Structure 1
Amino acid sequence: MNRKALTLLEILISVIILALVVTGLGNVFVAGKRYIQHSRMRMTGGEIGKYFLDPLQNDVNQ
């Protein structure tokens, strides 16, 4: 049997596999973006806390 073309089923399976891979990569991208945003907010909160607590610590140490 000499096959020179893809069947419709083979193309459909390939498209489904590609869609699953793209969906997985999209989920990884979205999760990474959320993690970065959360880290930035945490860092900003830490910087604000340090700004207000450092003078208090200096007063206590004196």
Structure 2
Amino acid sequence: MSTRKKMENTAQTAKGKLEESTGKAVGNERLTAKGKADQIKGDAAQAGEKVKDAFKR
């Protein structure tokens, strides 16, 4: 897995966690949902990269 992709996926997951917690703090359901979606996207992309690495070997 390229280091750049790993960092991007981790950043997206972290951004999602921040958005979710901010949304909860201010009572904004849309921001909370967007944060959860970003976390899922980041985690899915990370899993996809791991699968790619497994097939490269």
Structure 1-normalised TM-score?
0.48
Partner Cα separation in structure 2 for residue 6 and residue 21 of structure 1: 24
> What percentage of residue pairs aligned between the two structures are identical?
3
Structure 1: runs of 5 or more not aligned: 37-62
Structure 2-normalised TM-score?
0.52
Task: Note the aligned Cα RMSD (angstroms).
Answer: 1.2
Q: 1:7 aligns with which of 15, 24, 28?
A: 28
Structure 1 consecutive aligned stretches of length 4 or more whose deviation exceeds 4 Å: none
Greater relative contact order, per chain length (Cα 8 Å cut-off, separation 6+):
2
Structure 2: runs of 5 or more not aligned: 1-24
From the CA coordinates, give the structure whose radius of gyration is larger: 1
